[in-house]
Structure 1
Amino acid sequence: MEHIEAVLFDLDGTLIDSEHFYYSNWKPLLAMHFGLEINFDDWIRYFAGHTLVRNVQFLKEHWGIDTTEEFMWKETRAAYAKADMTKIALMPYAREILDALQQAGKRMALVTSSYQTTVDTVLGHHGLLPYFEFFVTRENVEYAKPNPEPYLQAVALLGVANEHVVAIEDTSTGLKAAQDAGITCIAVSRQAVERPKLEKASHLVENLLEVSQILLSSHPS
């Protein structure tokens, strides 16, 4: 991909191994307050990559759970604080791909449905904030992924033509947002329940090392 000038990274499940963290905090809340039992595959299939607003609506539509965004925000944030988000590990090869892209002179930014506080807490803990030119977070947009607004905003901030930008995503939500914004998307996931939904990506790989090899290949793709 010699023509690529900028790489836009998703955060959760792409750069940081946060889906188990979120699942481990949502699971007991759903069981305690609503009697709903979910497993990790359920989390990936139904909740991962979506906003709190969407997940609250999904609970109501699919399980008849009548709760509010305010209640779930309060409960989940309290759980996250107690669990300590700094314990969230990086995905394999996350630091290595950022180093490699930086050395290759690629511009990098983060496009996430998480809030800036989460970005600062987790990436700050790992010392990765300086790699990114800017951050498009949940509070920066009216409509989060799968709406293309976050990626449209990122491309506008870059000032680079779409064909010179690539997005790295791990969910169908992010893939749709990137592609609807006219951006090439590489999907990276080892989740069996998610991979079939990522087949429309330009590449579908299992880890960030493979992403790095694609991006820094000496042969045009």
Structure 2
Amino acid sequence: MTLPAAYLFDMDGLLLDTERLTLAAFLDCAEAFDLETAKMEPFFMSLVGISAARSDEMLLAFLGPDRDAARVVAMWRDRLAARLAEAVPVKPTVRDTLQALTAQGGRMAVVTSTLGDKARHHLDRAGLLSHFQFVLGGDEVSANKPDPAPYREAAERLSLPPSACAAFEDSDYGITAAAAAGCCAVQIPDLRLATQPFPDVGQLFAPTLEQAVAAAQGRFAQAPGGQNAENLG
């Protein structure tokens, strides 16, 4: 059976169940800085999947000129660090799925908007880092999601065309980047507003990583004419 030549994964909200912890830590700041939780939650949803630099810009605009953004960020980071100190939570089916792909000889990498050193640290603490050939962070690419550059550059590091790779994302920014790069893109939605439409970029959908990998493998197996993975487009 034809399989993807490589598997590329987002991290937060896809491998690691960290988005909820990050949101909870942000909401912890409400009382200290006179913020409305009803506005904080939808604002946080708008940050999911974007680069750290863009997130900082949006936070400054959200807080306004009368709040000390540096103090908000410091408190937010402290509250998140306290939660992560207990454990770095992993999403359902992730451990078993990565172990199965490793046993199959699957080539795997992480493509995340999180800073590279931070991402590697979290994956190491979660016991997942050894599955991946490399982790490509948001500070280690030429442009950030939704630009396709992160996925194109990850595929290039593997000496593969993006069309030979399956990519897995929870966020709209991420899935747009993966699809635009030419990967077989599968979206596993995590935190999002109920009224937010999904981008129409030809992606597959799945509720868990296990099912997402099966969907991607099924897509490659159904390629017309028995094409090998390197020729899929």
TM-score (normalizing by structure 2): 0.80
The residue number in structure 1 matching 2:124 is 124
Report what 1:220 is aligned to. Answer: 222
* 2:94 is aligned with 1:57: no
Give the share of equivalent positions with the same residue, in percent: 23
47-56 vs 105-114, which moves further: 47-56
Equivalent residues in 2 for 1:55-204 (5 A)? 55-61=55-61, 63=62, 65-66=64-65, 73-85=73-85, 87-189=87-189, 191=191, 193=193, 196-204=197-205
Post-superposition Cα deviations, 1:116-174, rounded to whole Å, max 9, x if no partner, equal 34323332123211110011012212432222222122111011012111110001010
Q: Is the 8 A contact 1:187 1:198 kept in 2?
A: no
Larger radius of gyration: 2
CA distance in 2, matches of 1:107, 1:42: 36
Partner of 1:211: 212
Aligned residues: 220
In structure 2, the gaps of 5 or more residues are: 224-233
RMSD of aligned residue pairs (Cα, Å)? 2.8
CA–CA separation in structure 1 for the residues paired with 2:77 and 2:147:
24
SS in 1 for 2:32: helix
8 Å CA contact retained: 1:169, 1:186: yes
What is aligned with 1:28? 28
Name stretches of at least 5 consecutive residues in structure 1 with no aligned partner: none
Distance in 2 of aligned mates of 1:43 and 1:96: 33
Report the TM-score when normalising by structure 1. 0.84
Deviation string, structure 1 residues 44-71 (Cα, Å, up to 9, x no partner)? 632222233323333455x462368755
Structure 1, 29-38 or 165-174: larger mean CA deviation: 29-38
- Compared with structure 1, are the counterparts of its residues 173 and 130 closer, same or farther at alpha carbon in structure 2 (3 Å cutoff)? same
